[in-house]
């Protein structure tokens, strides 16, 4: 004999537990919607660089600037600082930009909040005591050799990060 299945006496939709589940789900959906609709939070941190104004005899840390810039009446340029084989910090090479590129980069830097992307045109590099070489044009190969920090054994030195210095 086939007997009909017993019908539950209470429908979950009409029970307090059912209403509670629906309220919790709606609250979670509302919270998720609220979180997704908020404007994004941007964390702006100061970026720093190493600079020298005496052809790498000394260097200093300052907020990110486009080199060259005036530092107490002297031209300051970016200093790429590495640890030498003895573990001592030393300036590997220096960077500055042509006046035209420097003006463009200052405009870009003024508009960006943290991360900026710009092309390498107008970049000049030099070793301590050496001459400035353009990174583009006929001197590009020599400039690339200056920026290549590989040691004779092929290893790379530690490049000091000015943003990790207190």
Q: In order along the chain (166 residues), what is the average pLDDT of each group of 10 residues?
A: 58 67 80 60 63 96 91 96 93 94 82 61 91 90 93 91 76
29 with 85, same domain: the answer is: no
DSSP code for 159: B
Please tell me the predicted confidence (pLDDT) of residue 44.
40
112 with 133, same domain: the answer is: yes
Q: Range of 17's domain?
A: 11-41
34 with 77, same domain: the answer is: no
Please tell me the predicted confidence (pLDDT) of residue 23.
80
Please tell me the predicted confidence (pLDDT) of residue 41.
44
32 with 59, same domain: the answer is: no
84 with 23, same domain: the answer is: no
Contact 145, 135 (CB under 8 A): no
Smallest CA-to-CA distance from 59 within 38, 89, 29 is with: 89
* Total structural domains within the chain: 2
Report the mean per-residue pLDDT for the chain: 81
Spatial distance between the Cα atoms of 89 and 146, rounded to a whole number of angstroms: 18
DSSP states of 61-122: EEE--PSSEEETTEEEEEEEEEE-TTS-EEEEEEEEE-HHHHHHHHHHHHH-SS------TT
Residue 6 lies in a domain: no
Residue 5 lies in a domain: no
112 with 141, same domain: the answer is: yes
pLDDT digits (tens, 9 = 90+) for 135-146: 888 988 999 999
151 with 91, same domain: the answer is: yes
* Model confidence, pTM: 0.68
Residue 80 lies in a domain: yes
pLDDT digits (tens, 9 = 90+) for 61-92: 998 888 999 999 999 999 999 999 899 999 99
Residue with tokens 């590129």: 101
Residue 33 lies in a domain: yes
């Amino acid at each position: 004999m086939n007997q009909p299945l017993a019908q539950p006496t209470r429908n979950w939709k009409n029970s307090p537990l059912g209403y509670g589940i629906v309220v919790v789900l709606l609250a979670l959906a509302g919270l998720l919607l609220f979180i997704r609709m908020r404007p994004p939070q941007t964390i702006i941190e100061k970026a720093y660089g190493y600079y020298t104004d005496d052809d790498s005899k000394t260097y200093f840390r300052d907020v990110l600037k486009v080199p060259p810039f005036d530092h107490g009446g002297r031209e300051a340029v970016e200093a790429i600082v590495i640890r030498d084989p003895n573990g001592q910090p030393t300036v590997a090479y220096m960077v500055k930009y042509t006046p035209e590129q420097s003006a463009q980069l200052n405009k870009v830097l003024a508009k960006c909040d943290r991360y900026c992307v710009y092309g390498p045109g107008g970049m000049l590099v030099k070793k301590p005591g050496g001459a400035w070489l353009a990174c583009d044009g006929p001197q590009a190969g020599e400039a690339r050799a200056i920026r290549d920090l590989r040691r004779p054994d092929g290893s790379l030195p530690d490049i000091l990060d000015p943003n990790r210095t207190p």
